[in-house]
Chain A
Amino acid sequence: MSAPNKSYDPVEVEALKPEEIERLRDEALAAFAAADSLDALHEAKVAHTGPASPLSLANREIGALPPHAKADAGKRVGMARGAVNKALAARQGELEADRDARVLVEEAVDVTLPYDRVPAGARHPLTTLSERIEDVFVAMGYEVAEGPEAEAEWFNFDALNIGPDHPARSEHDTFFVRGADGADSGVVLRTHTSPVQARSMLTRELPIYVICPGRVYRTDELDATHTPVFHQVELLAIDEGLTMADLKGTLDHMVQMLFGEGMKTRLRPNFFPFTEPSAEMDMVCYVCRGASVGNPDRPCRTCSSEGWIELGGCGMVNRRVLVACGVDPEKYSGFAFGFGIERMLMFRHNVEDMRDMVEGDVRFTRPFGMEI
């Protein structure tokens, strides 16, 4: 400095001295660093950045400075306050994180606690398995047909080529409904879901592709392998030019959908009045896939090491049934099959005792949930 600065305010402003500003800044930073709680930090904040804090007061004094000194002092104070605010925010962040960590730790719970306030419900596996099968066919374009359980004998027997004197009629173990004054009512508890097929043919437009699930009745006492009330699913397809090969393909598709890729069925000749030709249908054992046959080291409980599991009966709809149901047998042919849901549930899900399926014990049903 070669000459005295004539433009200086005659009063020396202590607070705005650079070293003073630095001191104030350092005090604030130290106070923030020393604050060990959010409350302490708040106090330090008020003390060092509040309206009455030295830095705020210094800031206010800038206005009193001569214009040429304002910029210099303003810059100095501004930088100091910036540093202070930044340190405050940083410390605030640190302390909040500490607090949050502490609180969240305190709020921790035992997430392994069990919760069964309202135990889950479930649908019966016979219902859901039946629906599962329906869905396989609905996806192919079939429709689900239903009918009454107390059914006219004509639908249950006569229309299906089981005339009054047919030996098969007496093999059906039928429940008969009592008529008025004990007379013949002409009504039975349906012994199979086949009457629904007859009703379908009489009421639906051709071609017909239906699946008929439902409850059926036979006069068997309940034991480990029999129940007087059980469930069947039957299928009926009536169209021009249907063949046994179509029947076989449809069965193969079904077991693949229900039991996985590579599954197939086998037909064995049999006799049913309502189909001709008729067959018994088996499916490859889905557990051992035939590997247990003749292999005593690897016995299969599911198929008793037979390699095949018996499913039910099937065949081409007998022309007499077509005639009774008003379908022209010269133009149309059809196939049908049917099997018991209980049996399939038993081998698909390892149910050992039929009674488990009919007693309504919630311990049996719950694990099956909503779908099967």
Chain B
Amino acid sequence: MRVPLSWLREYVDLPATETGRDVQAKLISAGLEVETVEQLGADLKGPLVVGQVLTIEELEGFKKPIRFCTVDVGRANGTGEPQEIVCGARNFAVGDKVVVVLPGATLPGGFSIAARKTYGKTSHGMICSGDELGMGDDGSHGIIVLPPEHEAGTDAIELLQLVDEVLDIAVTANRGDCLSIRGVAREAAIAYGRPLSDPALLDVPAPNAYGHPVKVSDPFGCDRFTARTVTGLDPEARSPIWLQRRLQKAGMRPISLAVDITNYVMIELGQPLHAYDRTRIQGAVGVRRAERGERLTTLDGVARTLSTEDLVITDDRGPIGLAGVMGGADTEIDDTEGTTTEVVIEAAHFDPVAIARTARRHKLGSEAARRFERGVDPQAASAAAQRTVDLLVLLAGGTADAGVTEVVAPSAPRTITIPADHPDKVAGVTYGRETVVRRLQQIGCDVYGTDELIVTVPSWRPDLADPNDLAEEVIRLEGYENLPSTLPRPLPGHGLTGRQRLHRRVGRALAGAGYVEAPNYPFLGTAAFDQLGLDADDPRRTVVTLVNPLSDEEPALRTTLLPGLLGALRRNDGRGGHDLALFETGLVFRPTGQEEAPARLPADRRPTREQLAALDAALPRQPRRVAVVLAGAREQAGWWGRGRPSDWADAVEAARTVAREAGAELIVRADQHAPWHPGRCAALYVRVDGEEILAGHAGELHPRVVKAMHLPERSCAMEVELDLLEQAGDGIVKAPRISAFPVATQDVALVVEKPVPAAEVEAALREGAGELLESIRLFDVYENAEQLGDGHKSLAYALRFRAPDRTLTVDEASAARDAAVALAGARTGAVLRG
């Protein structure tokens, strides 16, 4: 809402010295979000005067038509002689009154005017357009042609009201009343403690039976309808400058006198109005819901099929307007031909919900709908109609018809009962009854009672409905800045949950291992799955999709973290960082296929357990995952020696790092799973309640994926479901018993066939070695066809034996080793390397 300060001052006697910024501060503190104060004409300097064009000489031979004019500017140029001015515009004729800026003046934007040579002539000033004067373009780009009554030489800065301040207020959804000068003036009056000259206080004739007939069939949708008629309008009449200027400052474009007047009154009083060309209405004006299949072409030229919920204005033929949203084209006031001489003014009050739905349904926002949605003062309708009639009579030479139609559905004033100390309890401040009552009265409430206050709220504040609404009015007027600062004392809390602590720990562990966290957007499209090489029936292709994605290419939510994280890898690589280790933790969205849209629940009571369960059943599964991606060197080369490229083992190790933080044992098995390299892919399992569950994968990416996604060669990745690891966690660590007796070390080298997984050999050794085994470590893997035979490998393990209560003998250690080797042999075919 744009509020010119000059307009505001008309209704509140603000101190003359108050600037726009002062008013801004006061209103902000009262709760109106005044975002900016625009300084109109701040750097404007005259002389800027009315001129009358005396002669026009068309200059030939230039790329565009140019006029050399003489203009009478009265005594403004000091000589009284005609002013010679070169002008490129053509929308004026000899005798027209125009706005002339003379040398020595400065136009908005710091544009200094001096006599200068142009097109072979000397131009002593300029004939101005609205744009050049900072008035906003009226669409014509032409110069301003003034009504003829203004004297040449008159100061145009004053005439065009070029210097002003405009408050731009972001009105919140509850304060529809402040979408009017009247509403803002009321707030300013309270803030300054000055009286309000309410522009809605007008003498309005009593309703009678002679007005234009109106039939309201839906009194819930329309609880008030005032119709007034004005005849004998001069179709040639144009909006006077002051009216146009106020509309421009308020952000609207002047169109035609009748439309300008309805817009003007809407801005002034907040009441949307509609003017119909009376000759185009057939019969009574009606208000009802649209019938199925009815159509209406609105003022914007769009033919719309109406819903049975749409409130419409009708005449004998059918709908002639979408009530409270936009009028129809058929009954529009003719502002191009200028034939309209009789109008019917509609000032009505419509149900905010009906208007909001219609505006949304037809994607048709309008100034009227915006106000009705947020609440319009129903009591202001007849005053607004009267104000419109007065202006039409005054400015268009019309005659007010004696008929006054008013259809009003009965309603009672709204009251709220609150304890007198309710605002005190909400604020934590003792205001006292007297202050509470005074503040409520200031905003227009009637207040009765002592300990219990019965508060009748004003018609223009439909947002005041609950006790806290009234408390807020008192507290804001007493000043939020005066609230004290106290601290509540919560009960002792439980701290972070295990899941939350794990999430943090995993982040720290991965960062400690050199990974950099890179959270990514969850949006993706099928292209991402194609690049990953997922099969057509891969469950990761079953996605949650958005109705209104930012990009049609990426309408879905991620089912895996990899596309986003690999995108970040590629971005870093493209920016010249080639040695990369990134991680991300976040939710993925996995539809179950069982989601069902829940019934629409009311919000006026707690839903039942079943209803809440139905809400949750509508949601996809959203487990938390962690992923890493790697490329380039894991260890850099440097003065210390060679570097080491990251490889599949780093990816698996990252999974182990995560599992370690979760206290979960990770079971690693070879697997073939997109998008990983089929020979370098590990499936990662954990045990939950005794059952092995697949938790994720790690390894090197498939070369095709690397190519398709333009990733660095041999990029690696890991992704596991963190929530599963948490479930698999061991809980409290049991401290091991530390033996101080000496260790007995035994190394064994075992030859197995190549496909035998090392993990199985180690598991057999571990089991076979029994309780004396303290630790086992694979320290070498060796492949040599000549020595080992084709298709074999040698695994060398260091076994450490120790007893809790004695020094082991060589025989004891050897026996344990032999048992270990024997079991490995039996399970995996391993033989001791001879």
Contacts and interface: CB of A to CB of B under 8 A. Distances in A.
Contacts of B638: 114-117
A323 B550 contact: no
A121 B514 contact: yes
B598 A359 contact: no
Nearest to B547: A176
A250 B488 contact: yes
In the complex, which of the residues B471, B601, B635 has the most CB atoms of chain A within 10 Å of its own CB atom? Answer: B601
A249 B487 contact: yes
Nearest to B500: A144
A53 interface: no
Number of chain B interface residues as a range: 35 or more
A323 B468 contact: no
Nearest to B471: A277
Interface in A339-372: 358-363, 365-366, 369-370
- By secondary structure, the A interface counts as mixed
Interface string A122-164: 1110110001001000101111101011111011001101011
B429 A165 contact: no
Interface stretch (B352-360, B386-394, B534-542): B352-360
A10 B615 CA distance: 124
Nearest to B472: A277
B577 A363 contact: yes
Interface stretch (B476-484, B679-687, B797-805): B476-484
Given A123-B517, A228-B550, A320-B603, A333 B618 contact: no
Nearest to B620: A150
Contact of A177 (B495, B545, B606): B545
B577 A362 contact: yes
Contact of B492 (A119, A121, A141, A365): A141
A141 B618 CA distance: 33
A309 interface: no
Interface stretch (B75-83, B88-96, B130-138, B579-587): B579-587
Contacts of B481: 266-267
Interface string A216-236: 000101000000110000000
A244 B357 contact: no
A192 interface: no
B515 A121 contact: yes
B666 to A, nearest CB: 20
B568 A183 contact: no
B493 A143 contact: yes
Contacts of B586: 215
Given A115-B640, A242-B488, A177 B472 contact: no
A182 B612 CA distance: 23
Nearest to A244: B427
B497 A122 contact: no
Contacts of A241: 425
Nearest to B425: A243
A107 interface: no
Given A138-B495, A245-B484, A253-B487, A324 B605 contact: yes
B546 A165 contact: no
A325 B595 CA distance: 23
A148 B475 contact: no
B546 A177 contact: yes
B199 to A, nearest CB: 25
A152 B512 contact: no
Among A124, A244, A361, find the residue whose CB has the most chain B CB atoms closer than 10 A. Answer: A244
B217 interface: no
B622 A149 contact: yes
A341 to B, nearest CB: 11
Interface string B452-488: 0000000000000011110110011000110111111
Contacts of B514: 118-121
Contacts of B515: 121
Interface string B639-654: 1100100000000000
B493 A268 contact: no
Interface in A236-280: 237, 239, 241-246, 248-250, 252-253, 264, 266-271, 273, 276-280
Contacts of B550: 219, 221, 228
B548 A219 contact: yes
A207 B507 CA distance: 32
A149 B621 CA distance: 10
Interface string B503-540: 01001101111111111111000000000000000000
Contacts of A120: 511, 514
Contacts of A243: 425-429, 486
A158 B601 contact: yes
Contacts, number: 301
A323 B606 CA distance: 6
A221 B489 CA distance: 42
Contacts of A143: 493-495, 497
B443 interface: no
B427 A176 contact: no
A167 B374 contact: yes
A141 B493 contact: yes
Interface in A318-336: 318-320, 323-326, 333
A95 to B, nearest CB: 34
Best-surrounded residue of A151, A171, A185, A280 (most CB of chain B within 10 A): A185
Contacts of B607: 154
Contacts of A221: 550
Contact of A276 (B31, B472, B519): B472
Given A244-B428, A320-B466, A269 B472 contact: yes
A168 B360 CA distance: 13
Interface stretch (B171-179, B254-262, B734-742): B171-179
Contacts of A183: 597
A316 interface: yes
A10 B476 CA distance: 128
A135 to B, nearest CB: 9
B490 A207 contact: yes
A32 interface: no
A179 interface: yes
Given A267-B483, A323-B606, A365-B516, A186 B598 contact: yes
Contact of A202 (B28, B427, B587, B606): B606
Contacts of B468: 276-277, 316, 318-319
Contact of B31 (A142, A187, A215, A268): A268
A365 B615 contact: no
A229 B523 CA distance: 10
Contact of A360 (B490, B568, B601): B568
A138 B493 contact: yes
B30 interface: yes
Contacts of B490: 140-142, 207, 209, 237, 239
Interface string A268-309: 111101001111100000000000000000000000000000
B518 A124 contact: yes
Contacts of A189: 546, 557
A113 B640 CA distance: 10
A7 interface: no
B507 A123 contact: yes
A269 to B, nearest CB: 3
Given A229-B522, A325-B606, A121 B511 contact: yes
6 contacts: A123-B508, A268-B28, A268-B31, A269-B472, A362-B572, A370-B512
Given A122-B517, A209-B488, 20 more contacts: A113-B639, A121-B514, A138-B493, A138-B495, A154-B615, A165-B353, A219-B548, A219-B550, A228-B521, A229-B521, A246-B428, A246-B486, A246-B487, A248-B484, A273-B173, A276-B469, A333-B426, A360-B565, A360-B582, A361-B575
Q: What are the 7 tightest A-B residue pairs by CB atom distance, in nearest-first order?
A: A269-B31, A243-B428, A360-B518, A245-B428, A326-B606, A277-B472, A360-B568
Interface of B: 28-31, 33, 172-175, 352-353, 356-357, 360, 373-374, 425-429, 466-469, 471-472, 475-476, 480-481, 483-497, 500, 504, 507-508, 510-522, 544-550, 557, 565, 568, 571-572, 575, 577, 579-583, 586-587, 589, 595, 597-598, 600-607, 612, 615-616, 618-620, 622, 634-636, 638-640, 643
